[in-house]
Amino acid sequence: MTAQATPANEMTKAILPDSALPTHWYNLAADFPEPLPPHLHPGTRKPLKPEEMEPIFASGLVEQEFSTDRWIEIPEPIREIYRLWRPAPLARARRLEKELGTSARIYYKNESVSPIGSHKPNTSVAQAYYNKLDGISNLTTETGAGQWGASLSFAAGFFGLGVEVWQVRASYDSKPYRRMLMEVYGGSVHPSPSNLTEAGRAMLEKDPDTPGSLGMAVSEAIEVAVKGDNSRYALGSVLNHVMLHQTIIGQEAAAQLAMFGESGPDVVVGCAGGGSNLAGLTFPFIGHSLTGSVLDDGGRSSSPTDRSGTRRDPSEFLRDGAPRIVAAEPAKCPSLTEGEYRYDHGDVAGLTPLLKMHTLGQDFVPDPIHAGGLRYHAMAPMVSHAVELGLMETTTVEQEDAFAAGVRFARCEGTVPAPESNHAIAAACVEAEKHKGEPGTGPVILIGLSGNGFLDLPAYSQFL
């Protein structure tokens, strides 16, 4: 008997073979209609030079941070590890569509299938690799919910590097299983603020009961990296090189939508903490909307588009049919929606370069909401720039609405989403509910399912 191929209109999930794993990361910095504002040196406030970042970050990552090459090849040792779980599936949320009574076709790119349960290993593997190339032996980092700390611990193990993680106090106390996961992979974990660093001691002196914040944990991790022997720091979001590494998500999703017979999405929705899963899912689509070539750029052309000229209305530079891109953030930490667009530090102690981004201020301590990965005072410069150029919209979601959407999604589609991802799902449901009528005839909505919530069940049970 010959196997029958499932018709595209009956498919539930699109699985790409290992051979379809993207070979390059896509760099939107090559195609922004206006150049990305440079990072500044915190002392001189002059544009930062690559060599000034090297005491903190591996040289290969610094090179990527400043790069405006459109495509950057993914080294084979990184691809080899990606293939443990990638390409990640893209699924059609048919039951959710029915439950919502929408005519929209809803798809979700499922990053929860990684060994850690989120998109974070897409960059942790790359970061561990480039540090190994430089002969570094130890990495330090911060983590909120623990997804990033676990991802770095996982990746570092493959390259024989040690990892020390400062976990935001609120999450350290409420999510013990993530700490255990980090330890399984060989990481050592401290609550932040801690007594182990000058920055941490100063913060504890100010407020001994602080729930902590990502900004505080970043300061502690950088301090230890800079003072340590043969140590470097690794950041799980925000910086340009992290956005770059995540772009395999959107490239795969575009190929998978085509397997469903879709020409592309009409709306793409991701949650936004520091911006990396959102950037990863959406930048290839934005690049394609700007140039018309990114998603079928088999030749990997490297010439940037003309970036001269002053700021324009996005309708001038986006091609017809460009999808709407929506960044969903928590109402309790609305950096994109309510923050100022200005230079600010990525951490509380002011150790990072000055980054041009939407910020609530480096001292902002968000409420201890369950979506720990979204508790960051600012947004990636590349995402902020995209918003300023009108290439992305923003929306906020209340915690209750996020969990309601997550429970609904779990009951329809099976996967329990991460509390962070619930923000994207809630915003996508609002979009879908605008479209009623004949099922399957409405717009295509693509959701970034950035992770699963298996280790966040106590948060769900508080909500139920």
* Binding region for ligand PLP (CB under 6 A): 118, 144-145, 147-148, 237, 271-278, 373-374, 418, 420-421, 450-451
Q: At what angle do helices 121-133 and 147-158 cross, to 10 degrees?
A: 40
Question: By C-beta, is 11 or 425 nearer to ligand PLP?
Answer: 425
The number of CA neighbours under 13 Å toward the Cβ of 294 is: 34
Distances (CA, A) of 361 to 143, 333, 364: 19, 11, 5
Between 217 and 374, whose beta carbon lies closer to ligand PLP? 374
Query: From CA 21, how far away is CA 419, in angstroms rounded?
Result: 28
Nearer to ligand PLP, 204 or 386 (CB): 386
- Amino acid in position 35: P
Which two three-digit tokens encode residue 387?
């918003």
Structure tokens at 244: 């770059």
Q: Is 28 exposed, middle or buried (0-12, 13-18, 19+ CB in 10 A)?
A: buried
Closest distance of CB 271 from ligand PLP, Å: 5
163 vs 272 by CB, closer to ligand PLP: 272
Residue 61 beta carbon to ligand PLP: minimum distance, rounded to whole angstroms: 16
- Indicate the residue among 144 and 442 with the shorter CB distance to ligand PLP: 144
Q: Which is nearer to ligand PLP, 291 or 362 (CB)?
A: 362
Q: Which of these, 30, 445, 100, lies nearest to 253 by C-alpha position?
A: 445
State the CB neighbour count (10 A cutoff) for residue 205: 9
One-letter amino acid at 241 equals H
- Give the shortest CB-4-to-ligand PLP separation in angstroms: 37
Cβ proximity to ligand PLP, 237 vs 291, nearer residue:
237
Between 334 and 373, name the residue whose CB sits nearer to ligand PLP.
373
The CA-based angle 97-101-106, given to 5 degrees, is 25
Least Å distance, CB 220 to ligand PLP, is: 17
Position 443, amino acid? P
What is the smallest separation between the CB atom of 345 and ligand PLP, expressed in angstroms?
Answer: 17
Distances (CA, A) of 343 to 57, 242, 307, 353: 20, 19, 22, 9
Least Å from the CB of residue 43 to ligand PLP: 27
User: Checking DSSP bridges between strand 24-26 and strand 71-73, what pairing results, if any?
Assistant: antiparallel
Task: Tell how strand 90-92 and strand 105-110 pair up.
Answer: antiparallel
Determine phi and psi for 309, rounding to 5 degrees. 100, 165
Q: Pick the closer one to ligand PLP by CB: 442 or 448.
A: 448
Query: How far apart are CB 82 and ligand PLP at their closest, in Å?
Result: 17
By C-alpha distance, which of 369, 451, 396, 446 is closest to 418? 451
Of all helices (H) and strands (E), which one includes residue 385?
Answer: helix 381-388
Tokens of 323: 């999808």
Helix/strand/coil for 179 = helix
- Pick between residue 33 and residue 146 the one whose CB is nearest to ligand PLP: 146
For the bound state, the minimum distance from the C-beta of residue 103 to ligand PLP, rounded and expressed in Å, comes to 28
Nearer to ligand PLP, 231 or 421 (CB): 421
In angstroms, what is the minimal distance from the CB of 292 to ligand PLP?
A: 27
Mode of pairing for the β-strands spanning 138-143 and 162-168: parallel
User: Element (H or E) spanning 92, and its range?
Assistant: strand 90-92
State the minimum distance, in angstroms, from the CB of residue 393 to ligand PLP: 16
HEC per residue, 157-190: HHCCCEEEEEEEHHHHHHCHHHHHHHHHCCCEEE
Q: Where are the beta strands (DSSP E) in 307-399?
A: 324-330, 340-345, 354-359, 393-397
**Closest approach of ligand PLP to the CB of residue 96, in Å:** 19
Residue 326 has phi, psi (to 5 degrees) of: -120, 125
Q: Is 11 or 446 the residue whose CB approaches ligand PLP more closely? A: 446
Q: How far is the CB of 383 from ligand PLP (least distance, A)?
A: 8
- Cα separation, 367 vs 387, in Å, equals 25
